[in-house]
């Protein structure tokens, strides 16, 4: 809807009304058309202001409409009509002007923004381009390079930057509508010729071809296989090379291609999935809207290794006081330096003072006595963690929440060491913890709703997307990762190389293939876990049992590499070779290829030619199958939880929505058929055996992802 009022005698004010972000739904578009007609036909009205209700100008097209039969007036002619109006139209921008919202403002003759407003064309992150003239008007207004940067990244800019770029005419700290009305009165009757952006020429940089070539290279590198950034560059190029009307045609053509692409569907699903995980619930009845978090002012971090340092930085940057405890003196000295450096770098980037005084260091665990919440991040060793939880339970003031950053150990076992198991939850961060956006909040059997709610709230406070998950080995992310890694190892045994597997996965869109990723994070991490659970043979086994554990196929390849101290980048050798320990550039290693040949010969394996499809099918479908098991077990409340975890924590390409969404896109019956096929070929790999939920979904006619919960029944999807 849109509301019309007349103020100061001669200014028609049109207010967009569609909470929460005044998205341009059919009703809003119709409202704008009707109210513009009225303003333009009333002789008393000399100028017009468009603003949004509740301090928000407009969040753009209504994304919920995209999957439906869109009705109502189209946005492009609506914006054209505003631009061609004979009376000046001023956009009063408060809060946000995003996507179609900014395009609407670009159709106005003037733009006035509140100093706290954010503006941008984020369509690229929804798999689209600004399809209501944004790609043609913005370059005309602020130059090709600046428009290219904003449109291909989707970055939001502050009002101050918008003023500097020339997107807005004025920024105010006062009441934006009042200022806009004053402005509208002052420009009434003046010529609008220079203020109809579409009629202006597009300014050309001298090296226009080079500008586009560089932009194209950059977007191709940044988002492997993503269509929208490429189309954005092509559309802006049309602004630079074609007259406006032809440029608009090109924009429309490119937009259409994207709109109907699977990538746009995937990215729009992912947009809503990220918000849906905030509406969490647990089987015990805790819920986002009824479970109240407790305020946390002081927190403690125990263990200042890789993770503890990042967690300390994340907490301090969000304004929390942190007691940082490390028992090893050398580590403590290094951690002080490391944390301070990270805080200083972060502060420089954000233009704020570093939060150095927020952190107090100690080598004694007794320093935690007065904190509201502790995050333990010592070695992944159950006995050590148990001892620490016993100490914490005795030392902390009553009611202190005790959290662990374990990657997959049993939360209930740790909770059982404490006097108040209801205060214990997992807070599983991802490395580097001050950068990665994901937090898995793991509830145990006895975790109280308040403990879960508090951990979830801390997550949001420090800028993470927090996903509540149940307690099992590896929780959601690492549990799904295991069958994926296993398939990659099996493929090497059968004839593939790390280069082949990585190439296929990177072409699919992963930021890094499984072997390059494993070299980066360190092969020794998984080796230690496998040793702890008895999977690593004490000495090199031969014969039929060398590749079998607990009756199932097992590949000792990772263990054998670790025995050679090939831990990956940190030792300069892993699945690849590096020029030195700590080197970053992976090069194929002839030693490894010989090693694989000898290994196959030793175990009587005959290398065969493995094609790309098989690599993709086996790695991805094994992973997806485990995702279905997780849903069946109620460890994740819905498919969107798994998808958000996998995109944010494991480099799954956003434009493919996440593994569960991808399964739906491929077709559940196809996933089932392929798993059945591979399980028949490899009956000793239980992860390839299709899980019963997948069968049940296929038997129910493969419903769309937002209907899966009706088949799962137990948990509840929030989409």
Ligand X SMILES: NC(=O)C1=CN([C@@H]2O[C@H](COP(=O)(O)OP(=O)(O)OC[C@H]3O[C@@H](n4cnc5c(N)ncnc54)[C@H](O)[C@@H]3O)[C@@H](O)[C@H]2O)C=CC1
User: Which residues are the active-site residues?
Assistant: 103, 123
Per CB under 6 A, the segment of 112-120, 220-228, 298-306, 687-695 that binds ligand X is 298-306
Residue 478 preceded by cis peptide, ω within 30 = no
Which segments of 25-88 are extended strands (E)? 47-52
Q: Is residue 522 a contact residue for ligand ZOZ (CB under 6 A)?
A: no
> Among residue numbers 11 through 40, which ones bind ligand ZOZ (CB under 6 A)?
20-21, 23
Spatial separation of the C-alpha atoms in residues 464 and 457, rounded to whole Å: 9
Angle at 670 between CA 664 and CA 673, to 5 degrees: 135
Shortest spacing between CB 263 and ligand ZOZ, in angstroms: 14
Spatial separation of the C-alpha atoms in residues 223 and 392, rounded to whole Å: 44
> Among residue numbers 383 through 412, which ones bind ligand X (CB under 6 A)?
384, 388, 405-407
> Burial, 9: exposed, middle or buried (Cβ in 10 Å; 0-12, 13-18, 19+)?
exposed
Q: Which is nearer to ligand ZOZ, 138 or 481 (CB)?
A: 138
Q: Is residue 334 a contact residue for ligand X (CB under 6 A)?
A: no
Spatial separation of the C-alpha atoms in residues 555 and 389, rounded to whole Å: 35
Q: Which two tokens stand for residue 201?
A: 């020429």
Q: How many CB atoms lie within 10 A of CB 256?
A: 11
Spatial separation of the C-alpha atoms in residues 325 and 392, rounded to whole Å: 12
Q: Which is nearer to ligand ZOZ, 273 or 610 (CB)?
A: 273
Residue closest to ligand ZOZ (Cβ): 99
| 305, 634, 651, 703: residue in contact with ligand X (rule CB under 6 A) | 305
The answer to whether 323 touches 368, Cβ cutoff 8 Å, is yes
Q: Is residue 255 a contact residue for ligand ZOZ (CB under 6 A)?
A: yes
Q: Which is nearer to ligand X, 153 or 405 (CB)?
A: 405
Q: Is residue 113 a contact residue for ligand X (CB under 6 A)?
A: no
Shortest spacing between CB 375 and ligand X, in angstroms: 10
Angle at 454 between CA 453 and CA 460, to 5 degrees: 90
Q: Which is nearer to ligand X, 24 or 438 (CB)?
A: 438
The answer to whether 535 touches 528, Cβ cutoff 8 Å, is no
Choose the contact partner of 158 out of ligand X, ligand ZOZ, none; CB within 5 to 8 A by kind.
none
**For residue 5, what are the contacts with CB-CB under 8 A and spacing of at least 6?**
12, 13, 15
Shortest spacing between CB 439 and ligand ZOZ, in angstroms: 17
Per CB under 6 A, the segment of 147-155, 271-279, 375-383, 670-678 that binds ligand X is 375-383
Q: Is residue 363 a contact residue for ligand ZOZ (CB under 6 A)?
A: no
Shortest spacing between CB 649 and ligand ZOZ, in angstroms: 20
- Going residue by residue from 504 to 543, which x/- string records binding to ligand X, judged by CB under 6 A? -----------------x----------------------
Spatial separation of the C-alpha atoms in residues 459 and 452, rounded to whole Å: 11
Q: Which is nearer to ligand X, 279 or 386 (CB)?
A: 386
Q: Which two tokens stand for residue 193?
A: 């010729």
Q: Is residue 362 a contact residue for ligand X (CB under 6 A)?
A: no
| 331, 420, 445, 450: residue in contact with ligand X (rule CB under 6 A) | 331
Q: Is residue 328 a contact residue for ligand X (CB under 6 A)?
A: yes
Q: Which is nearer to ligand X, 439 or 698 (CB)?
A: 439
DSSP state of 204: P
Q: Is residue 275 a contact residue for ligand ZOZ (CB under 6 A)?
A: yes
Spatial separation of the C-alpha atoms in residues 404 and 410, rounded to whole Å: 10
- HEC per residue, 75-106: HHHHHHHHHHCCCCEEEEECCEEECHHHHHHH
The answer to whether 592 touches 498, Cβ cutoff 8 Å, is yes
Q: Which two tokens stand for residue 580?
A: 């030195």
Spatial separation of the C-alpha atoms in residues 52 and 400, rounded to whole Å: 44
The answer to whether 397 touches 374, Cβ cutoff 8 Å, is no
Q: Is residue 272 a contact residue for ligand ZOZ (CB under 6 A)?
A: yes
- Going residue by residue from 125 to 144, which x/- string records binding to ligand ZOZ, judged by CB under 6 A? -x-x-xxx------------
| 34, 65, 149, 380: residue in contact with ligand X (rule CB under 6 A) | 380
Q: Which is nearer to ligand X, 369 or 699 (CB)?
A: 369
Spatial separation of the C-alpha atoms in residues 192 and 195, rounded to whole Å: 5
Q: Is residue 587 a contact residue for ligand ZOZ (CB under 6 A)?
A: no
Q: Which is nearer to ligand X, 327 or 420 (CB)?
A: 327
Shortest spacing between CB 391 and ligand X, in angstroms: 8
**For residue 399, what are the contacts with CB-CB under 8 A and spacing of at least 6?**
294, 372, 423
Spatial separation of the C-alpha atoms in residues 451 and 448, rounded to whole Å: 5
Spatial separation of the C-alpha atoms in residues 521 and 335, rounded to whole Å: 19
Q: How far is C-alpha 594 from the geometric centre of its chain's CA atoms?
A: 39
The answer to whether 692 touches 632, Cβ cutoff 8 Å, is yes
| 326, 499, 559, 643: residue in contact with ligand X (rule CB under 6 A) | 326
Q: Is residue 61 a contact residue for ligand ZOZ (CB under 6 A)?
A: yes
Shortest spacing between CB 343 and ligand X, in angstroms: 18
Number of residues that bind ligand ZOZ (CB under 6 A): 27
Choose the contact partner of 351 out of ligand X, ligand ZOZ, none; CB within 5 to 8 A by kind.
none
Shortest spacing between CB 283 and ligand X, in angstroms: 24
Q: Which is nearer to ligand ZOZ, 248 or 324 (CB)?
A: 248
Q: Is residue 339 a contact residue for ligand X (CB under 6 A)?
A: no
Spatial separation of the C-alpha atoms in residues 507 and 612, rounded to whole Å: 10
Where does this chain bind ligand ZOZ (CB under 6 A)? 20-21, 23, 59-64, 75-76, 96, 98-100, 103, 122-123, 126, 128, 130-132, 252, 255, 272, 275
Where does this chain bind ligand X (CB under 6 A)? 302-308, 325-328, 331, 377-380, 384, 388, 405-407, 429-431, 521
């Amino acid at each position: 809807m849109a509301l019309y009022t007349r103020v100061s005698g001669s200014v028609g004010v049109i207010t967009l009304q569609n909470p929460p972000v005044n998205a341009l739904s059919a009703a809003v578009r119709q409202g704008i058309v009707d109210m513009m007609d009225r303003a333009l036909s009333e002789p008393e009205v000399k100028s017009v202001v468009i603003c949004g209700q509740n301090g928000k100008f407009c969040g753009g097209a209504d994304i919920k409409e995209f999957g439906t039969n869109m009705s109502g007036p189209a946005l492009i002619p609506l914006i054209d009509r505003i631009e061609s109006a004979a009376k000046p139209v001023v956009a009063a921008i408060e809060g946000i002007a995003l996507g179609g919202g900014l395009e609407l403002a670009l159709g106005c003759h003037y733009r006035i923004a509140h100093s706290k407003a954010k503006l941008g064309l984020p369509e690229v992150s929804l798999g689209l381009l600004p399809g209501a003239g944004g790609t043609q008007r913005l370059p005309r207004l602020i130059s090709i390079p600046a428009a290219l940067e904003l449109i291909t990244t989707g970055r939001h800019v502050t009002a101050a930057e918008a003023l500097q770029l020339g997107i807005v005419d004025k920024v105010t700290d006062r009441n934006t509508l009042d200022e806009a009305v004053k402005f509208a009165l002052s420009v009434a009757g003046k010529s609008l010729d220079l203020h109809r952006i579409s009629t202006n020429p597009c300014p050309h940089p001298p090296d226009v071809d080079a500008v586009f070539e560089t932009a194209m290279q950059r977007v191709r590198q940044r988002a492997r296989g993503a269509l929208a950034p490429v189309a954005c560059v092509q559309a802006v190029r049309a602004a630079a090379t074609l007259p406006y009307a032809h440029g608009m045609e090109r924009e429309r053509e490119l937009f259409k291609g994207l709109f109907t692409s699977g990538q746009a569907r995937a990215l729009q699903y992912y947009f809503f999935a990220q918000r849906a995980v905030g509406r969490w619930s647990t089987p015990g009845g805790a819920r986002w809207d009824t479970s109240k978090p407790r305020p946390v002012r002081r927190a403690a971090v125990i263990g200042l290794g890789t993770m503890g340092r990042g967690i300390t930085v994340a907490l301090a940057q969000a304004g929390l006081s942190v007691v940082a405890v490390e028992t090893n003196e050398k580590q403590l000295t290094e951690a002080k330096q490391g944390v301070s450096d990270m805080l200083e770098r972060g502060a420089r980037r954000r233009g704020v003072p570093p939060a150095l005084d927020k952190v107090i260091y100690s080598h004694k665990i007794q320093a935690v006595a007065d904190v509201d919440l502790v995050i333990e991040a010592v070695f992944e060793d159950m006995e050590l963690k148990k001892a620490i939880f016993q100490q914490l339970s005795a030392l902390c003031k009553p009611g202190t929440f005790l959290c662990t950053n374990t990657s997959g150990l049993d939360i209930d076992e740790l909770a059982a060491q404490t006097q108040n198991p209801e205060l214990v939850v997992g807070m599983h961060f991802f490395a580097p913890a001050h950068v990665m956006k994901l937090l898995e909040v793991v509830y145990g059997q006895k975790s109280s709703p308040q403990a879960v709610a508090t951990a979830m709230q801390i997550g949001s406070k420090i800028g993470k997307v927090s996903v509540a998950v149940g307690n099992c080995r590896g929780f959601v992310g690492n549990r799904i990762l295991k069958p994926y890694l296993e398939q990659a190892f099996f493929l090497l045994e059968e004839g593939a190389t790390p280069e082949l597997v990585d190439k296929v996965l990177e072409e699919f869109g992963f930021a890094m293939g499984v072997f390059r990723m494993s070299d980066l994070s360190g092969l020794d991490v998984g080796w230690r876990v496998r040793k702890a659970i008895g999977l690593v043979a004490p000495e090199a086994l031969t014969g039929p049992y060398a590749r079998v554990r607990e009756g199932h196929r097992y590949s000792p390849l990772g263990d054998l590499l670790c025995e050679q101290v090939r831990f990956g980048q940190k030792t300069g050798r892993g699945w690849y070779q590096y020029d030195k320990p700590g080197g970053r550039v992976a090069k194929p290693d002839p030693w490894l290829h010989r090693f694989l040949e000898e290994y196959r010969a030793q175990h009587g394996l005959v290398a065969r030619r493995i094609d790309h499809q098989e690599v993709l099918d086996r790695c991805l479908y094994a992973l997806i199958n485990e995702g279905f098991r997780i849903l069946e077990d109620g460890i994740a409340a819905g498919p969107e939880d798994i998808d958000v975890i996998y995109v944010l924590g494991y480099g799954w390409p956003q434009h493919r929505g996440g593994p569960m969404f991808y399964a739906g896109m491929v077709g559940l019956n196809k996933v089932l058929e392929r798993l059945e096929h591979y399980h028949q070929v490899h009956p000793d790999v239980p992860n390839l055996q299709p899980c019963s939920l997948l069968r049940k979904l296929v038997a129910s006619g493969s419903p769309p992802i937002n209907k899966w919960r009706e088949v799962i029944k137990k948990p509840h999807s929030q989409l």
